[in-house]
Amino acid sequence: MPKYIDAEKLVLEIKKKSGGLLSGWDTAGVLAVILNQPSADVKEVVRGKWEQDGVYQMCSNCFSNFEHEDCSGGELIFPFCPSCGADMREVE
């Protein structure tokens, strides 16, 4: 599991310790500051894509199938998989 940190807090901590740009610091000192940063409160995002198969769309993450048309023929677009919760929104 990766450890996420707040980069702004890291920069502030380094500035407090060195008084400038890493002067007087060695690699071990910088690494000690980075490794002792508190973890950010984040949640890993599981992403997927809808794969069309006739009247069904299949989640690429859990392979669950859902109809992509409602009873009046309108298109149903789920931003998240109703089965596994994968984020189906496009990312840049």
Please enumerate, as own/partner, the contacts of 21-28 that have beta carbons within 8 Å and a separation of 24 or more: none
Among 10, 30, 33, 62, binds Zn ion (CB under 5 A): 62
By CB under 5 A, tell whether 59 contacts Zn ion: yes
Least spacing, CB of residue 67 vs Zn ion, in Å: 15
Least spacing, CB of residue 83 vs Zn ion, in Å: 4
Distance CA 64, CA 58 (A): 5
Distance CA 89, CA 42 (A): 19
By CB under 5 A, tell whether 61 contacts Zn ion: yes
Query: Helices 27-35 and 7-18 meet at what angle, rounded to 10?
Result: 140
Q: Which one of 1-9, 17-25, 38-46, 82-90 is the stretch in contact with Zn ion (CB under 5 A)?
A: 82-90
**Which residues of this chain interact with Zn ion, rule CB under 5 A?**
59, 61-62, 81, 83-84, 86
